[in-house]
Amino acid sequence: MAKIPRKKSSPKAGSVCEYGTVAAFLNALSEQSKAEVLLAPAYRTTGNSIQAGALLSGQRSDETSRVHACIVLAVEAILGGSQGRITYPYRQTQHDQQVRKRIRDLQDELLTALQLALQHDERVAHLRYPASYQVPAIQIWHPDALAVFPVAYQDGRWVVVSSTRGQLA
């Protein structure tokens, strides 16, 4: 008997509530109980510029038609010809292929740091990665999305830090 392939799909979102910071996202999502958080890579391109980061999404148990979402920006770059330029979290011009590799590396570092921090956050009951709700294009890609959350860009990489800004991992 042939197996019927299971369709891999993300849960669909009803209305979406966007948050500018991870802390605000987690506070809203876990208002009544610990939350299940979905984490996935996110990309946005405009012309020759690219932003890469992480999408956090989730639903409260009392609001099954509303999805809460937050984007964390890992890296922003401009690609063009043989040269590329990283413009966030630092500024540097390199060969295009080096910039593309650095985009992947910085995004992977951020996703790893977020996984570790979210697994130890008291507001999170369960973390699913890679997973996300299907949400329309999120407009808020703010560099300060990690304000008061224990993930930071330090010494050339994304890391988990303690509340006293000492490095955990």
**97-120 pLDDT per residue, tens:** 999 999 999 999 999 999 999 999
Average pLDDT, integer, range 160-169 = 56
pLDDT band at residue 152, thresholds of 50, 70 and 90? Answer: very high
The reported pLDDT for the residue numbered 99 is: 96
pLDDT of res. 166: 37
pLDDT reading at 70 higher than 50 = yes
Question: What local confidence, expressed as pLDDT, does residue 107 receive?
Answer: 98
Q: Identify the CA nearest to 16 among candidates 59, 58, 68.
A: 68
Q: Is the pLDDT of residue 167 over 80?
A: no
pLDDT at 8 over 80: no
* pLDDT at residue number 39: 98
Q: Can you give the pLDDT at residue 4?
A: 43
Instruction: Tell me the pTM.
Output: 0.85
- The predicted pLDDT at position 49 comes to 94
Mean pLDDT of 136-155: 89
Please give the Cα distance from 160 to 169 (Å, whole number): 6
Residue 53 near residue 70 (C-beta atoms within 8 A):
no
**Following DSSP, what letter does each residue of 75-112 receive, concatenated?**
EEEEEETTEEEEEESS-EEEEHHHHHHHHHHHHHHHHH
Counts of helices then strands in the chain (DSSP H, E): 2, 9
User: Is pLDDT above 60 for 21?
Assistant: yes
Supply the pLDDT for residue 102.
97
Q: What is the pLDDT of residue 135?
A: 86
